[in-house]
Chain A
């Protein structure tokens, strides 16, 4: 995968979304969405509830089928003008992306270790020794090495979320997506997850993060998208978007968020 990246011109975005639209039946949830993310960049997506943030993330990670538009991942078309790549290419493209869910979605019947090794072994065909070493290395970094043999139900929410981040990272994705990774956590536990994400940003992991943590978004991300009503209202460098938003809807949303 790194080889593919090396052949990519330095100027080409790692994620390139053009004119993406998505409807559920009659209701148009995303319209004419275009944005790009460059290698090593962090993009945050903010906006009011029901605006379409999750749906956008789910479209790009292929959990939803788009209604139209183009998604290029590392220059390869996952979908072009509404037409999806053939199955094998699609699978290869999807393997370059990892997703961390709001409610973790760990596999409850597997130990922490097996949650992280299972896909390495059965998807990437790594040996179990390799998979184990990778998993233990990640758990070490997450400060959870001593929980390797525990089951998800024995962990706190923050610990479960760290395991789910490790599970995604174990497959060496080029891009990691987060859908409100701290929203299901008690307030005192959000810090540990935000620290992990900051650490990943520091080593230039390409990330797209949907979040309601405004201060965090301003701090950690290079760019921010503000989405409302299925439209990108504003797309700007994070400092600029948070400190001097251009659009009235962005201003209104930000003042509502900071007054809460």
Chain B
């Protein structure tokens, strides 16, 4: 087990674990913010008010039609460059600061993932039979009550499998935050690999992503089992 000892005492390992913490933060913030945000977006996409529906449509087209990496860079640099332009027009006195790298990354991930989650939720909401709404209405529930008590819990069960895929992709996508220089595990692994002239840090990063996704899959299987008590 010599190699294991070498591995555990590798000088770059503590750094990599720190980066894992950043990756996890990026991951958690994205999930916690994008999932709740995706529900109003899904409702907007289904709205009878066409300007809102079109607005959401354009947002979905842009987000899903352009690379996430481009969106990350855009969110980071846009505030400065756009505000410089506004200053020139005399609408603003001083240009805005570039945002904090981590915040910019979270922002871009949330905007991006909310789009994908919202489409999953829309599919789920549309799959609930009309009779569920009608039964709720006839029993006197208000429209928000029908949505939150009757429809949404059933939607959650239906979107679990599709969401699992999305969440697993998110774990891997956090690596894209390297373009903003966020010190997440992939950025650090790449640095260590070149400074130590070794592929070991990259292999270690791979193992870390693998373990994270193993945990995610396990969690989703648990949730699915928990919701298995009906139909």
Q: A residues near B, CB below 8 A?
A: 61-63, 91, 94-95, 97-99, 101, 103, 105-109, 118-119, 122-124, 151-153, 164, 167-168, 171
Q: Which residues of A contact B131 (CB under 8 A)?
A: 101, 103, 105
Which residue in B129, B136, B145, B157 is a CB contact (below 8 Å) of A109?
B157
Q: Which residue of A lies closest to B153 (CB)?
A: A109
Check if B91 is an interface residue, CB within 8 A of chain A. no
A188 to chain B, nearest CB (A): 23
Greatest chain A CB density within 10 A among B134, B135, B149, B150 is at B135
The reply to whether B150 and A107 contact each other, CB–CB distance below 8 Å, is yes
Task: Tell me if B230 and A152 are in contact (CB < 8 A).
Answer: yes
- CB of A220, distance to nearest CB on chain B (Å): 22
Check: B65 CB closer than 8 A to any chain A CB: no
Please tell me if the beta carbons of A105 and B135 are within 8 angstroms of each other in the complex.
yes
Residues of B contacting A103 in the complex (Cβ-Cβ under 8 angstroms)? 131
Q: A105-B135, A108-B154, A109-B230 are in contact. Are A118 and B149 (CB under 8 A)?
A: yes
Give chain B's interface residues, CB within 8 Å of chain A.
Answer: 129, 131-132, 134-141, 145, 149-150, 153-154, 157, 229-231
State whether A171 touches B230 (Cβ < 8 A). Answer: no
In the complex, what distance in Å separates the CA atom of A95 from the CA atom of B138? Answer: 8
Nearest CB of B to A170, in Å: 9
| Given A105-B131, A108-B230, A108-B231; A63-B139 close (CB under 8 Å) | no
Q: How far is the CA of A114 from the CA of B1 in the complex (A)?
A: 57
Chain A residues positioned under 8 Å from B137 (CB to CB): 62-63
Known: A109-B153, A153-B230, A153-B231. A171 touches B139 (CB 8 A): yes
B139 touching A123, Cβ below 8 Å? yes
Q: In the complex, what residues of A have CB within 8 A of residue B154's CB? A: 108-109
Nearest to B145 among chain A residues (CB) is A122
Question: Can you name the residue of chain B whose Cβ is closest to the Cβ of A120?
Answer: B139
22 contacts between A and B (CB under 8 A): A61-B138, A62-B137, A63-B134, A63-B137, A94-B138, A94-B140, A95-B140, A97-B138, A105-B132, A107-B132, A107-B136, A107-B150, A108-B154, A108-B231, A109-B157, A119-B139, A119-B140, A122-B145, A122-B149, A123-B145, A152-B231, A168-B139
The CA of A97 and the CA of B138, in the complex, are separated in Å by 8
Judging by beta carbons under 8 Å apart, are B139 and A167 in contact?
yes
Closest to A94 in B: B140
Within the assembled complex, what's the spacing in Å between the Cα atoms of A122 and B146?
11
> How far in angstroms is the closest Cβ of chain B from A28?
23
Contacting residue for A101 out of B134, B145, B149, B229, CB 8 A:
B134
Q: Are A122 and B141 in contact (CB under 8 A)?
A: yes
Residues A107 and B135 in contact, CB atoms below 8 Å apart:
yes
How far is it, in angstroms, between the C-alpha of A91 and the C-alpha of B141 when the chains are bound? 10
Which of B140, B150, B229, B231 sits near A171, CB closer than 8 Å? B140
Top 4 nearest A-B pairs (CB, nearest first) are A105-B135, A123-B140, A105-B131, A119-B139
Chain B residues near A105 (CB, 8 Å)?
A: 129, 131-132, 134-135
Complex: A164 Cα to B139 Cα, angstroms: 11
Q: Are B140 and A91 closer than 8 Å at their CB atoms?
A: yes
- The answer for the CA separation of A250 and B135 in the assembled complex, in Å, is 32
Within the assembled complex, what's the spacing in Å between the Cα atoms of A189 and B77?
68
CB distance from A111 to the nearest CB of B (A): 9
A235 to B139, CA, bound (A): 29
A103 to B135, CA, bound (A): 11
Separation of A165 and B230 alpha carbons in the complex (Å): 21
